Amino acid sequence: MGSLGIRAATVLDAERLAVVHEQCVRESGLAGEIIDQSGLEDRYERALSVMDATTTWVATWDGEIVGFVSATALGPGHARMLELSSLGVLASHRNRGIGSKLLNHAVGTAPCLAWAPAGAESFYRRHGFEADSVTERRDGMPFLRVLR
């Protein structure tokens, strides 16, 4: 039996995060456009090298990154809504509660909005999110806004 860890991502994780992110999108069957892995790596390097309102965590299984989550604090002040900007777990490590642990680690019980890819609505419903009527296409894939 492996061991799960959750930790803050660092710029040193950018290359592996890009690989895992691309693989999660491909495994979901939702990829509308080809994912530019080098573009993802550059995006993670930039995001992880600056201090801003977005924080990224990684889930590790026996030391290997198998999932990720990013959350952004929206607006000024201490009590503010969070936006879950990305969440993914490799197919080989799904149904072990890793996604739920990442979600809870990133946003806890705070008010939050997220963009759920088609097919993931039930995951978000289990965590108290409700869909509204707003949809958006990101990287060629349909997403539904969910709130709690």
Q: Which pLDDT tens digit goes with each residue over 51-94?
A: 777 899 999 999 999 999 999 888 766 566 899 988 999 999 99
Model confidence band, residue 34 (pLDDT cutoffs 50, 70, 90): low
Q: Domain spanning 4-147 has what CATH number?
A: 3.40.630.30
Task: Fill in the DSSP letter of residue 13.
Answer: G
pTM attached to this predicted model: 0.82
Cβ count within 10 A of residue 139 = 15
Q: For residue 81, what are its two tokens?
A: 């809504």
Bridge partners of 19, per DSSP, are: none
Distances in whole angstroms, Cα of residue 42 to Cα of each of 18, 60, 134:
9, 21, 29
Alpha helices for the chain (secondary structure H) = 14-28, 37-48, 98-107, 121-126
Q: Where exactly are the structural domains of the chain?
A: 4-147
